[in-house]
Structure 1
Amino acid sequence: MPVVFRFDGFRFHFYSNEGDPREPVHIHVARAGGDAKFWLFPEVEMAYNCGFDARTIKRLQDVVASRRSEIEEAWNEYFT
């Protein structure tokens, strides 16, 4: 599972086996006790959340939005 970056104890990653056909660009965020998934386009949007409170989700969504181009670049590098 390629890790794109770590931030404040969270791991931002995607899975090398993202389905067939592959899902659109997204990022998984994990930390002990929780994980979430965010779509990047057309806007950053939470796909699912398991274990994070609303405040944490908002913070994670902001991080994903601010680093969206970095995430997309890592995705395209890995899958193309």
Structure 2
Amino acid sequence: MPTIFEIFGLRFFFFSGDHAPIHIHVVKGDNDAKIAIMPEIKLVYNNGLKVGDLKKALQLAEMYKLEIIEAWNKYFDENGNN
């Protein structure tokens, strides 16, 4: 479960067996969400994140979109998955 970054108590990561299109999982406590990164930033599902946390997560995904894509590509290129 490679973590890309953690900020405001929100952990942004993907699973080692994840698949395209590029997306991230966001966790805070027992709550989580999935956000598509490509082709555009879009909420896939929310499982209990508060509205404020979800809004922050979407904003951070937009702000760090390039870093997320780079981390995804680097991980899956090196590990032969995806």
TM-score normalised by length of structure 1: 0.89
- Of 44, 57, 77, 1:60 maps to 57
- Between the two proteins, what is the percent identity of the paired residues? 39
User: For residues 10 and 66 of structure 1, what CA distance do their matches in structure 2 show?
Assistant: 14
Deviation at 1:43, TM superposition (A): 1.5
User: For residues 66 and 38 of structure 1, what CA distance do their matches in structure 2 show?
Assistant: 13
User: For residues 11 and 56 of structure 2, what CA distance do their matches in structure 1 show?
Assistant: 14
Moved over 3 A (4+): none
Q: Which has the higher contact order (CA 8 A, sep 6+)?
A: 2
Structure 1 gap segments, 5+ residues each: none
Confirm or deny that 1:45 pairs with 2:16: no
Confirm or deny that 1:76 pairs with 2:68: no
Structure 2 gap segments, 5+ residues each: 78-82
Confirm or deny that 1:9 pairs with 2:2: no
User: For residues 30 and 73 of structure 2, what CA distance do their matches in structure 1 show?
Assistant: 29
Count of residues paired in the alignment: 77
Deviation at 1:54, TM superposition (A): 2.4
Deviation at 1:17, TM superposition (A): 1.0
RMSD over aligned Cα, in angstroms?
1.0
Confirm or deny that 1:35 pairs with 2:35: no
Amino acid at match of 1:27: I
